[in-house]
Structure formats: structure tokens, C-alpha cells
Amino acid sequence: MRAAMADAPLGDDVFRDDPSVLALEQYAARLLGKEAALYVPTGTMANQIALRVHCRHGDELIAHRRCHIFNYETGAAAALAGVQVRTIDSDDGSMSPEAIVAQLRLTEDTHVANTALVAFENTHNACGGKVLDQAQLDESVSVVKAHGVAVHLDGARLANAAAASGLKFNQLAASFDTVSLCLSKGLGAPVGSILAGDSTRIKTALRYRKMYGGGMRQAGVLAAAGLYALEHHCDRLADDHRRARQLAAFLDSHTGVTADQPQTNLVYFTLADDHPLSDDEFLERLLERGVSLHGGGRRFRAALHLDVSDDDLQQAIDAFGAVL
């Protein structure tokens, strides 16, 4: 990947003449089955640009209560897009057609915000890295579109969904007007995400990328890493999923620890309330042994990715064993 970055031909992407960025965008568009794609610095920017493309200030977005757009993008839907969010909850990240229809607001009543967009997340991070059921997802999207409402997919970890489900990227993305895809995380690129859709929407997205400060001039040095990741690192995600299952099984074997069964690369687990270690003590002792986690409130997440080998996994398991 570093060799690809060093050898990348460069131009000026703000003027749309960086050949490495254009090659990445064309490849990603074909992969996702869309007319066009746009390279942006982050997944958050990809999602927030999508909101601007689909919505006007004062519109409403329907999304899952635990989704990234609503919880982990610093209120940008409100601050940048002027969009308010109505949420639907479920244990697995799904939003059924019935639940969505119950929340849709399409009216001439000036007292309420109209629904302009419904956003899904696949895989769903906060629900344990779950892969959404494709049949239900397609049904939900079909119902939304029948009401004339646009649909966006936060596919930050769509590559993991493809690896776990056996479906191709374009099958997972087919129903959606726009889809984001993160090139870092498990795919291992240092920077960048893709926003894909039809050519008209992506042309509009380019304007918002500039507005949001996402024009990066000689961005091909980074885009080359993303292209390398898509070409070489998708199949190996199955190794991350295997390691996640190994780690979850080990954690679940300990008294006072309950681990969810992972579908992809994320391992969520819970410490019992009466476990002798506090959250801070638990995290500090693991960090002393080279293992870094997210979490709190007795709930934690471990992420397996490109830079965690089988040897690294064994080091992590040894560290968990020592601390627990």
C-alpha cells in the first residue's frame, strides 16, 4: 500500500484532474453499482454530505436510535444540514417497513417537519457489528421509495457485510440512492471514504465537499491507498471475523463476562456489575499489556482489523486472561 502511495500519479483534485482520485472513484462506483462516486476525507463527511444532498434545512431524517449519524457525528445533522432526526429502535439495527411507515411524516401541515430521508447502517456498529437482513432491508427501502422519500446507506463497514454475507457490494447497495463506504477501518487505508450515487447527486455532493473543506488538492497519494485496499483487502476481512469469534469465545468463558456472538469484526462484551474491577481499572490494566479498548458502563468493544494478526490476537487473549 505504501508503495502504491509513493508511486501514485498526482494532479489537483479540487480541479478534478488527479488521476489517482479519479481511478479510485471510478472503481468504487463500479464496485457499488452506482453511476458515480466521490472521495472524501472521512465517513462522517460522506454521511453529512449525503444529508445535504437529500435534505433542506427544516427537513426530517428517520434513522435507527443507535446509528452513527445520530450518535457519533457531533450533532452535524442539526448543525450543518439543519435536519432533525426521528429514531426507531431495535436490537439488531433493523428498521421494519411497518416501523418506518409509522414514523413517516409527509404532509402540508406547516406545524411539522416533512421526512426527506431514511438512513440505514450496515454493518450496524452499536448493535454489535450486525449485518442487516438483506431481504427485510430491501423491503423497507422499497416501502420508503414508494412514499417518494430518499434512502441513504451508511456503509462504513459495508465491506465487512459483504465478507460475512457472501453478497457483492453492488447487491448490498443496489436499493439505495446514496451509499458511503469507509476505506480505513478493516480495509486498512490510512484515510478516506467514498460517497456513491447517481451522477446528478454526486455532482451536488462535490459542491458540498468543497463547502465542508474536503477538497484536498494532491489527494491521489491517499486515494491510491484506498484503491489498493479495495483491490487487495476485501477478502481478508474474513480473517478479522474469525479472530473476533475466537476472542468472543475466550471472553465468554470467564465468570463475570458475557460476550455477544460476533457476526463480523466487532466484539462487544459486558462485565458483571459485581466484577471486582472498575471500568477504569479494567481498561488501564489492559492498556499496560498493550490492548486498547473502547467502552464504559460495564460495556466494551474490541475491534479486529488489518493490523491485528493471529500473534496479536494471542497477545490480546493473554492480556485479557491476566487481567480477568
Q: pLDDT digits over 164-203, tens only?
A: 999 999 999 999 999 999 999 889 999 999 999 999 999 9
- Read off the pLDDT of residues 64-87 as tens digits, 9 standing for 90 and up: 999 999 999 999 999 999 999 999
Q: Calculate helix-pair angle for 279-288, 310-323, nearest 10 degrees.
A: 130
CB 52 within 8 A of CB 208: yes
Residue 30 has pLDDT above 90, yes or no: yes
For range 18-42, the mean pLDDT: 98
In DSSP terms, 135 is beta-bridged to none
pTM beyond 0.85: the answer is: yes
CB 152 within 8 A of CB 178: yes
pLDDT in the model for residue 216: 96
- Read off the pLDDT of residues 262-281 as tens digits, 9 standing for 90 and up: 999 999 999 999 999 999 99
Does the CA dihedral 137-178-48-22 come out positive or negative? positive
Distances (CA, A) of 134 to 139, 140, 162: 8, 10, 11
CA distance 20 to 70: 33
pLDDT in the model for residue 74: 96
For range 114-142, the mean pLDDT: 97
Q: Residue 1, class by beta-carbon neighbours within 10 Å (0-12 exposed, 13-18 middle, 19+ buried)?
A: middle
Pick from 144, 93, 94, 141: which is nearest to 115 by CA?
Answer: 144
pLDDT in the model for residue 202: 98
CB 197 within 8 A of CB 34: yes
Q: Residue 309, class by beta-carbon neighbours within 10 Å (0-12 exposed, 13-18 middle, 19+ buried)?
A: exposed
3 state SS of 60: strand
- List of domains in the chain: 2-232 (3.40.640.10), 237-323 (3.90.1150.10)
Residue 248 has pLDDT above 90, yes or no: yes
CA distance 18 to 23: 9
For range 284-301, the mean pLDDT: 95
pLDDT in the model for residue 185: 87
CA distance 182 to 170: 15
CA distance 119 to 84: 13
Q: What is the DSSP letter of 301?
A: E
CA distance 122 to 300: 20
CB 122 within 8 A of CB 158: yes
* Percent of the chain scoring above 70 in pLDDT: 100
CA distance 200 to 154: 19
Amino acid code (one letter) for 280: D
312 backbone dihedrals φ, ψ, rounded to 5° = -65, -40
For range 216-225, the mean pLDDT: 97
pLDDT in the model for residue 243: 98
Q: HSE of 242 in the Cβ direction (CA atoms, 13 Å)?
A: 8
For range 234-254, the mean pLDDT: 97
pLDDT in the model for residue 175: 96
Outline where the chain has alpha helix (H): 2-7, 19-32, 43-54, 68-71, 76-79, 97-103, 134-146, 158-165, 169-173, 199-211, 220-232, 237-252, 279-288, 310-323
